[in-house]
A and B are shown apart, each in its own frame.
Chain A
Amino acid sequence: MPKVKFDILETTCVPLPLENIDTDQIIPARFLSATSREGFGDNLFRDWRYNKSGEKNSEFILNDPRYSGKVLITGKNFGCGSSREHAVWAIYDYGFRAVVSSDLADIFRNNSLNNGLLPVVVPAKFLKYLLDLTGKDPDTRVRIDLGKQLFSVMPAGESVRFEINQYKKECLMKGLDDIDYLLSIMDLIKAYEFRNTLGK
């Protein structure tokens, strides 16, 4: 996992106003045969980004030169479907650092947190405002302050507070990872095992 610390992010955004975008759209299964974590960004949204003959689909937002930035804004239930972490690797590898929606699929959210991609859940109304705004104005800038758990439209537009598990927040801000934590409590894990084999 990337040990990049997450603090404050100021950037433009890419709006993708569709709901229920599943992991097969984010990264189709035929690209899952790799055995490393790198390079998945090239195939992010592959079948929407390219048409059958392999040319770029000019109507898809990632191919629109007016749009760029490190935040992906998208409709509810983003990341539903498979548990493939490749979906998060693809989004991260492409250059996104946060995904904003009114509702994110559970496994996708966990996978994001484990890879330094910040999942930001905002109220449905605010999401609509955000999608409209960025749809009209590609230069809209946003600011994510993880410490304050604040998502704001710049320069001084609306802002909302978002929830994040305090433990996970600390991990992201300090660039720590779960395995280090678990390895540090191996004694407790072994004690648990001992209790439970004795009890049987």
Chain B
Amino acid sequence: MTPQTLFDKIWDSHVVRSVEKGPDVLYIDQHFIHEVTSPQAFNGLKERGIPVFRPDKTLATADHNIPTKDQHLPIKDELSRNQVEKLAENCKKYGIEFFGLNHPKNGIVHVIGPELGYTLPGMTIVCGDSHTSTHGAFGTIAFGIGTSEVEMVLATQCVLQSKPKKMKISVSGLLQKGVTSKDLILHIISQLSTNGATGYFIEYSGSALKALSMEGRMTICNMSIEMGARGGLIAPDETTIKYLSQIPSLSGRSDFNSLLKNWKELKSDPGAVFDREHEFHANEIKPMITYGTNPGMGMAVDATIPLITSKSAGIASFIKSHEYMGFKPGMKILGHRVDYVFLGSCTNGRIEDIRAFTQLVKGKKKAPDVTALIVPGSKRVEQQAINEGLDKILKDAGFELRQPGCSSCLAMNEDKIPAGKFSVSTSNRNFEGRQGPGARTLLVSPLTAAAAAVTGKITDPRDLLND
């Protein structure tokens, strides 16, 4: 038999039928929905007069436009409130499990799926959200879809999809102290560019990936979409199995052992062929930061902004980006003023991220001119931070732990960064206006965010890490 990639194995085993000269009908094992991209899909079902085909394979949460303070009060913004209420209504009507505001399992869709044991190796997973790629960290085919496709999955548990090409990214060596998985993925994107993986599904491998925790792997897979990839996955290993074994609802299942056996077989065969391969070396990577308005415009935190050459095809876009950010080619941004710091999102809103941030700010004080938003990715993360006493350490340093949600990542709620302000953010997109009209976003790791929060300037976190 020809050696197969893990991606091929999972994809092929989920094809219900291949349409002649067309896409595949792909069966979906797990469907996640949220308030923003689902209402029109439910309207579609209603118009057609059809039910949700497999409500038990669908899970709903409210995350995108909810407040991160006083969640016990009604949502102030009328449209947002209406959207969340619509979702609750639809879930009730169609029998879908819904973790709404204040539910102990509520949180950002890509944080709760894995932590509650909904995301399992070998699955196909979709959600009306591009960062669905996050779930690939468990060895799944997980990708974002549009609302019409959400409607398809609600109606038939299937989606029509052309099979992407396969890319392998291997990272040898190990990350240095003070360098995180966020820096690794920002480095990869800066090398491959924001459309460097369009049309591909990535498999990440290599010693640097093996050494990462599940949280770290989720950060990597999360940002696959920022290179244009449909998604990215990592074959399950002992780290994956250990993580999953600690979820009571899973380890208590009578078929847990047979699941374990299946998961262990999920890997690419030796000699499997990829359409493209890239190699990186972890040891060389430094803490990263973005200086422009797409995630591909990144560099080491102590580097200078690259010059625009006449060969840069998108010269107009470069100039526009620099004007927006208030930066110039050739300039260093180390030491530059910071107004806002955002720790959170489905990229870096997990317990490890809050731990890393806390570890660095412990015993220090928030810089007086910095406004910081520390937003856990889920209720569970919030609870765990409190159990570990992280909220106290943060408080002593002048920070407040908020309630979970997407928050400043896309600023659909009140957590908007004002125009012109510099925001150091652990989220995934530095697009114009992403964190609020006119806001200037610099993407970093939780450690670099912490360093900025206590110094009020762009700082290399390695300078502040003791021992």
User: Which residues on A are within 8 Å of B, measured CB to CB?
Assistant: 1, 17-20, 22, 24-25, 28-30, 32-37, 47, 52, 75-77, 80-86, 88, 103, 105-107, 110-111, 114-115, 124, 165-168, 177-179, 181-183, 185-186, 188-189, 192-193, 196, 200
> Are A77's CB and B37's CB within 8 A?
no
> Are A75's CB and B314's CB within 8 A?
yes
Question: Which of B20-28, B238-246, B392-400 lines the interface with chain A?
Answer: B20-28
Of chain A, the residue at the smallest CB distance from B86 is A35
> Are A165's CB and B162's CB within 8 A?
yes
How far, in whole Å, are A75 and B317 apart by their CA atoms in the complex? 9
> Are B433's CB and A182's CB within 8 A?
no
> Are B48's CB and A76's CB within 8 A?
no
> Are B39's CB and A179's CB within 8 A?
no
How far, in whole Å, are A32 and B80 apart by their CA atoms in the complex? 9
> Are A183's CB and B156's CB within 8 A?
yes
| Chain B residue contacts of A84, Cβ below 8 A | 36-37, 146
Specify which of B64, B162, B228, B433 is in contact with A24 (CB 8 Å cutoff).
B433
How far, in whole Å, are A124 and B160 apart by their CA atoms in the complex? 28
Of chain B, the residue at the smallest CB distance from A108 is B146
What is the CB-to-nearest-CB distance from B328 to chain A, in angstroms, rounded to a whole number?
19
What is the CB-to-nearest-CB distance from B451 to chain A, in angstroms, rounded to a whole number?
27
B63 located at the interface, meaning its Cβ lies under 8 Å from any Cβ of chain A in the complex: no
Q: Given A34-B79, A80-B195, A183-B156, does the pair A18, B320 have CB atoms closer than 8 Å?
A: yes
Of chain A, the residue at the smallest CB distance from B44 is A179
Write the B135-162 contact mask toward A (1 if CB under 8 angstroms, else 0): 0000000001111110110011110111
> Are A22's CB and B129's CB within 8 A?
no
Of chain A, the residue at the smallest CB distance from B19 is A167
> Are A185's CB and B25's CB within 8 A?
yes
Interface CB pairs A-B, < 8 A, 8: A20-B317, A32-B65, A80-B294, A82-B130, A181-B160, A182-B160, A189-B158, A196-B27
How far, in whole Å, are A85 and B150 apart by their CA atoms in the complex? 10
> Are A179's CB and B152's CB within 8 A?
yes
B95 located at the interface, meaning its Cβ lies under 8 Å from any Cβ of chain A in the complex: no
How far, in whole Å, are A166 and B258 apart by their CA atoms in the complex? 41
Write the B213-256 contact mask toward A (1 if CB under 8 angstroms, else 0): 00000000000000010100000000000000000000000010
> Are B433's CB and A115's CB within 8 A?
no
Q: Which 8 A-B pairs have the closest CB atoms?
A: A167-B22, A19-B314, A33-B79, A35-B39, A111-B146, A85-B146, A114-B148, A83-B144
> Are A106's CB and B83's CB within 8 A?
no
| Chain A residue contacts of B23, Cβ below 8 A | 165, 167-168
Specify which of A76, A83, A166 is in contact with B37 (CB 8 Å cutoff).
A83
> Are A25's CB and B431's CB within 8 A?
yes
Of chain B, the residue at the smallest CB distance from A110 is B146
How far, in whole Å, are A43 and B64 apart by their CA atoms in the complex? 19
> Are A18's CB and B317's CB within 8 A?
yes
> Are B43's CB and A35's CB within 8 A?
yes
Most buried by B among A30, A75, A88: A30
| Chain B residue contacts of A165, Cβ below 8 A | 21-23, 162
> Are A107's CB and B412's CB within 8 A?
no
| Chain A residue contacts of B65, Cβ below 8 A | 32-33
Of chain A, the residue at the smallest CB distance from B432 is A25
How far, in whole Å, are A8 and B160 apart by their CA atoms in the complex? 26
> Are B194's CB and A20's CB within 8 A?
yes
How far, in whole Å, are A188 and B228 apart by their CA atoms in the complex? 32
What is the CB-to-nearest-CB distance from A167 to chain B, in angstroms, rounded to a whole number?
3
| Chain A residue contacts of B230, Cβ below 8 A | 106-107
Specify which of A19, A32, A82 is in contact with B317 (CB 8 Å cutoff).
A19
Other than the given A24-B410, A189-B27, 20 more pairs (CB < 8 A) read: A17-B316, A20-B296, A22-B294, A33-B79, A35-B43, A77-B195, A77-B198, A86-B147, A105-B195, A111-B147, A124-B313, A166-B21, A167-B20, A167-B21, A168-B22, A168-B23, A178-B160, A179-B148, A182-B155, A185-B17
What is the CB-to-nearest-CB distance from B442 to chain A, in angstroms, rounded to a whole number?
16
| Chain A residue contacts of B151, Cβ below 8 A | 179
How far, in whole Å, are A166 and B128 apart by their CA atoms in the complex? 25
Q: Given A19-B314, A77-B194, does the pair A24, B156 have CB atoms closer than 8 Å?
A: no
Of chain A, the residue at the smallest CB distance from B428 is A81
Q: Given A25-B432, A52-B438, A83-B129, does the pair A33, B27 have CB atoms closer than 8 Å?
A: no
Most buried by A among B80, B164, B431: B431
B10 located at the interface, meaning its Cβ lies under 8 Å from any Cβ of chain A in the complex: no
> Are B433's CB and A107's CB within 8 A?
no
| Chain B residue contacts of A183, Cβ below 8 A | 50, 155-156
| Chain B residue contacts of A35, Cβ below 8 A | 39-40, 43, 82-83, 86
| Chain B residue contacts of A24, Cβ below 8 A | 410, 429, 431-434
Of chain B, the residue at the smallest CB distance from A180 is B48
How far, in whole Å, are A200 and B148 apart by their CA atoms in the complex? 31
Of chain A, the residue at the smallest CB distance from B437 is A47
How far, in whole Å, are A182 and B151 apart by their CA atoms in the complex? 11
Q: Given A105-B228, A115-B148, does the pair A179, B317 have CB atoms closer than 8 Å?
A: no
Specify which of B17, B412, B434, B437 is in contact with A188 (CB 8 Å cutoff).
B17
B211 located at the interface, meaning its Cβ lies under 8 Å from any Cβ of chain A in the complex: no
Of chain A, the residue at the smallest CB distance from B410 is A29
| Chain B residue contacts of A179, Cβ below 8 A | 44, 48, 148, 151-152, 155-156
Most buried by A among B147, B155, B230, B412: B147
Write the B69-98 contact mask toward A (1 if CB under 8 angstroms, else 0): 000000001011011001000000000000
What is the CB-to-nearest-CB distance from A85 to chain B, in angstroms, rounded to a whole number?
4
How far, in whole Å, are A58 and B446 apart by their CA atoms in the complex? 41
Specify which of A18, A47, A76, A80 is in contact with B433 (CB 8 Å cutoff).
A47
